[in-house]
Structure 1
Amino acid sequence: MADIFREVDEDLRRDRLGRLWSRFAPYIIGVAVLIVAGTAGFRGWEAWQAQRAETAGDAFLAALEEADAGNHAKAREMLTDMNDATGGYPLLARMRAAAELAAEGDAAAAVSEFDAIANDRSASSVNRDLARVRAGYLALDLEDRSSVEARVSIVTDGNHALRHSAREIMALAAWKAGDAKTASTWVSEIQADTETPADVVNRARVLESLLAAAGADGVAN
């Protein structure tokens, strides 16, 4: 008798499972299909993004090769065509295109483009500050002291990664304006910072020598 009851119980369970499967099978299969399709779609999207990144990287390197060969106008044209590239390449292309303007001798246009990047809130703060510094160096030969300082003074403080270059620009702007004392103060700040890159320190020493020769206050003879 026990065997009969077990068989009946098993038949009932199978019948119940069969009814449940018949009821929910379309949903289960649909979810499974969506999972498979979603995974395949994501993999396809990843592959597409990787291909776009590779294409953009190749285009950027090709533009750099043109620039290295002295074909600045051609390089700038190629870089301008990268406005719709993936990832960070459009911004990199804008920065390099601005540098190519300077290489072509149009420093004013380069400053204008770097200023545009510095004011572009879609760019990261690091890239915006880098654009400020690049514009600041170029503007030393184009604009008055106050205009140069207005660009880079914000970058001179604290532990900012670009503070060394910004301080150099401030020192040069003061020196060119005939303010030897302020220039000397900036030189001292550059030299006191143990993290200042060697090339900036070396240029600061040259400026220090010029200031000393001119008899600037606070500079050792």
Structure 2
Amino acid sequence: MSDIFEEVDESLRQDKIETIWKRYRLFVYGGAALLIGAVALNEFVLHPHFAEVRAERAKAFEQATTQLADGDYTDAEAGFRELVSEESSLSPLAANFLAQTLYEGSGDAAGATEVLATSGKADGTPFERAALLKAAYAKADTVSLAELETLLGDLKEEESGLGALARELIAAKAYAEGDPARARTAYNRLKFDAAAPQGVVRRAEIALAAIPIPEETAIETPAEAAAPTEPSETTEETGQ
């Protein structure tokens, strides 16, 4: 599970870079220097209080991540919980780390899943979408395929690394529920999905090699369909 979460985080980093580039590239082309100057003026001159609050949150986040790395799970959990409760732009990222702290520190998978599910949004920030996907992985064994698709929402249609991971999870769940035809179709699409991370593509190839091809259903001709279904009676020959 931890390997999957690492792959989700890697896809998140790639997706976040792409999202930022798409959102701000026109400003970059039009005048990066002017934009940076305006942001600096707004942050440090017009609104010094907000800048100070953000700096304090960043410092608290850094401290919590250091505590997590050092194995100080109790203090790390307290720090991340406070950041999550503030409902700032840093909260979704803190929620991902809080779930990791709960899982690594005490093996609290249920608590970690609840944190991820609460903070996850299919149409939210990259960190919120990553949290939703991680929650879906954690719940995959205990929910139905329909419930899993509902949980993932529009994320499963997204043309991104996170979207590809969501589609892979659905393919695996379809096979687990006894629908190899749907699973093969989904894995075959992932194999040629330009947005899919290499790990997803490799696993799709492995799955396609392992999942048997369903037997084709025979198509009845009109004559076969009209034929009687009960066996005909045979006349026994009798000797004279």
Task: Classify the TM-score, shorter chain.
Answer: 0.5 to 0.7
C-alpha contact 2:164 2:190 (8 A) present in aligned 1: yes
Could you say what secondary structure the match of 1:152 adopts? helix
Q: How does 1:151-190 map to 2 (within 5 A)?
A: 151-157=151-157, 159=159, 162-190=162-190
Specify whether residues 61 and 216 from structure 1 end up closer, same or farther in structure 2 by C-alpha distance, changes over 3 A only.
Answer: farther
Residue matched to 1:105 = 107
Specify whether residues 83 and 131 from structure 1 end up closer, same or farther in structure 2 by C-alpha distance, changes over 3 A only.
Answer: closer
Answering whether residue 116 of structure 2 is matched by residue 114 of structure 1, we say: yes
Cα distance in 2 between the residues matched to 1:181 and 1:57: 48
AA aligned to 1:154 is D
AA aligned to 2:55 is E
C-alpha contact 2:136 2:148 (8 A) present in aligned 1: yes
Could you say what secondary structure the match of 1:156 adopts? helix
TM-score by length of 2: 0.60
Cα distance in 2 between the residues matched to 1:112 and 1:78: 18
Deviation (angstroms), 1:160:
5.2
Q: Quick check: 42-51 or 143-152, which moved more? A: 42-51
Residue matched to 1:96 = 97
Residue matched to 1:137 = 137
AA aligned to 2:117 is D
Residue matched to 1:75 = 76
Answering whether residue 222 of structure 2 is matched by residue 194 of structure 1, we say: no
Cα distance in 1 between the residues matched to 2:127 and 2:140: 20
Could you say what secondary structure the match of 2:50 adopts? helix
Answering whether residue 210 of structure 2 is matched by residue 216 of structure 1, we say: no
AA aligned to 1:216 is I
Residue matched to 1:60 = 61
C-alpha contact 1:67 1:75 (8 A) present in aligned 2: yes
Q: Deviations over 1:107-137 (max 9, x none)?
A: 22222222222369xx935444333211111
Specify whether residues 105 and 178 from structure 1 end up closer, same or farther in structure 2 by C-alpha distance, changes over 3 A only.
Answer: farther
Specify whether residues 206 and 59 from structure 1 end up closer, same or farther in structure 2 by C-alpha distance, changes over 3 A only.
Answer: farther
Cα distance in 1 between the residues matched to 2:118 and 2:158: 25
Deviation (angstroms), 1:52:
2.2
Could you say what secondary structure the match of 2:157 adopts? coil
TM-score by length of 1: 0.65
Cα distance in 2 between the residues matched to 1:158 and 1:140: 19
Specify whether residues 81 and 158 from structure 1 end up closer, same or farther in structure 2 by C-alpha distance, changes over 3 A only.
Answer: closer
Deviation (angstroms), 1:163:
1.3
Greater Cα radius of gyration, structure 1 or 2 = 1
Cα distance in 2 between the residues matched to 1:153 and 1:84: 25
Q: Deviations over 1:58-80 (max 9, x none)?
A: 21122112222333343221101
Residue matched to 1:36 = none
Q: Which runs of 5+ in 1 are unaligned?
A: 1-41
Q: Which has the higher contact order (CA 8 A, sep 6+)?
A: 2
Q: Quick check: 128-137 or 43-52, which moved more? A: 43-52
Specify whether residues 43 and 200 from structure 1 end up closer, same or farther in structure 2 by C-alpha distance, changes over 3 A only.
Answer: closer
Could you say what secondary structure the match of 1:113 adopts? helix
Deviation (angstroms), 1:169:
0.9
Cα distance in 1 between the residues matched to 2:158 and 2:121: 22
Cα distance in 1 between the residues matched to 2:71 and 2:80: 15
AA aligned to 1:109 is G
Specify whether residues 158 and 140 from structure 1 end up closer, same or farther in structure 2 by C-alpha distance, changes over 3 A only.
Answer: closer
AA aligned to 2:111 is A
Residue matched to 2:204 = 204
Q: Quick check: 124-133 or 58-67, which moved more? A: 124-133
Question: What number of residue pairs does the alignment pair up?
Answer: 174
Specify whether residues 43 and 171 from structure 1 end up closer, same or farther in structure 2 by C-alpha distance, changes over 3 A only.
Answer: closer
